[in-house]
Amino acid sequence: MKVWEVWKYSLGSFSDDRTKPYDNYVAGVRTILFLSVLCTNIFIVSGVIRHWNGPANQVDVGNDHPHRHGFSCDGVDPLEQYPSTAGR
């Protein structure tokens, strides 16, 4: 149980004698919060690593895609708006 005591105090100090019966519950809630933050950060970092070289991994728009023919909701031809993508 020494590991649990060290973990409890690493999550935050417990110095109040009135809350001593609840120290384990508080440490449990803080552990759950810590694990959820850790899991979220792992997903964020894995997404960054996965898309590290973004432009090289983009999907090429085929000839049957509506924007390839210049259809747009605002009336601007996307191929003329972004000429660097016109040669794709």
Q: Is residue 87 in some structural domain?
A: no
pLDDT in the model for residue 16: 79
Tokens of 46: 């894995």
Tokens of 80: 């003329």
Q: How far apart are CA 70 and CA 86, in angstroms?
A: 10
pLDDT in the model for residue 68: 56
Q: Is residue 41 in some structural domain?
A: yes
Q: How far apart are CA 85 and CA 88, in angstroms?
A: 6
Q: Is residue 29 in some structural domain?
A: yes
Q: How far apart are CA 1 and CA 4, in angstroms?
A: 5
pLDDT in the model for residue 21: 86
Task: Indicate the number of domains in the chain.
Answer: 1
Give the chain's residues under pLDDT 70. Answer: 54-88
pTM, whole model, 2 decimals? Answer: 0.55
Q: Is residue 12 in some structural domain?
A: yes
Domain enclosing residue 22, as ranges: 1-52
